[in-house]
A = this chain, B = another copy of it.
């Protein structure tokens, strides 16, 4: 086969090893570049250079710039699921329909905590968050997949947990708004992290520092419905 990009999303099926590794390097470089500079701001040469491959490799593996962009979106969806589906599933299992509001509050803390750790605590997620938020703003080619697979479900889940925390049967408009604002604050803190760290005089957001963020968010959740 001449062009892996024409087949399924997964790495080359039969598979020489080397190709998958190259593919991964390109994807990694593209995530950073697109996240930092946006679709138009990132150039294919920049990405190829950062991945230490030559220009045609991008076409070879992803069919072109837009294909690479969409592959990045899929990768973000995949990584989001890898990190969040566990916590989410555990929460839903531990929260039967008739559960207590206090249990819902604890579940909300767990989910939001996991999300905050992902978005605020890891340096790599900076690019993903910027990528997703940018796509929510510009509504580019990857909008629908990111909205349907990441943003929408994320807000829905948090809105649902908030509403359960408040003792409601189903999310009210206020609960959904509260969920949007909560998710927004975490997302943005992820994006503007360099500036936020500079403002707080923090060298990084690891360890104890990240705990401060989590403590504040937990306090916000504790005060829900007060």
A interface with B by C-beta (< 8 Å): 36-41, 130, 133, 136-139, 147, 151-152, 155, 173-174, 176-178, 180-182, 184-185, 187-189, 191-192, 194-196, 199-200, 212-213, 215-217, 220, 223, 226
Contact = CB atoms under 8 A, between A and B. Distances in A.
Contact of A147 (B38, B189, B195, B213): B195
19 contacts: A36-B138, A40-B40, A136-B191, A136-B192, A136-B195, A139-B195, A147-B195, A155-B199, A174-B216, A177-B212, A177-B213, A178-B216, A180-B199, A181-B189, A184-B192, A185-B185, A185-B188, A188-B188, A226-B226
Contacts of A226: 223, 226
A176 B189 CA distance: 13
The list of the 3 closest CB pairs from A to B, nearest first, reads A184-B188, A223-B223, A185-B185
Nearest to A43: B40
A225 B221 CA distance: 13
A7 B77 CA distance: 50
A192 B184 CA distance: 9
Nearest to A156: B199
Q: Is the interface of A mostly helix, strand, loop or mixed?
A: helix
Contacts of A213: 177, 181
Contacts of A223: 220, 223, 226
Contact of A212 (B137, B138, B139, B174): B174
Given A191-B137, A223-B226, A200 B185 contact: no
A121 to B, nearest CB: 14
Contacts of A182: 185
Contacts of A147: 195
A184 B180 contact: no
A189 B184 CA distance: 7
Contacts of A36: 137-138
A14 B147 CA distance: 52
A133 B194 contact: no
A182 B174 CA distance: 17
A198 to B, nearest CB: 9
Given A173-B212, A176-B200, A37 B184 contact: no
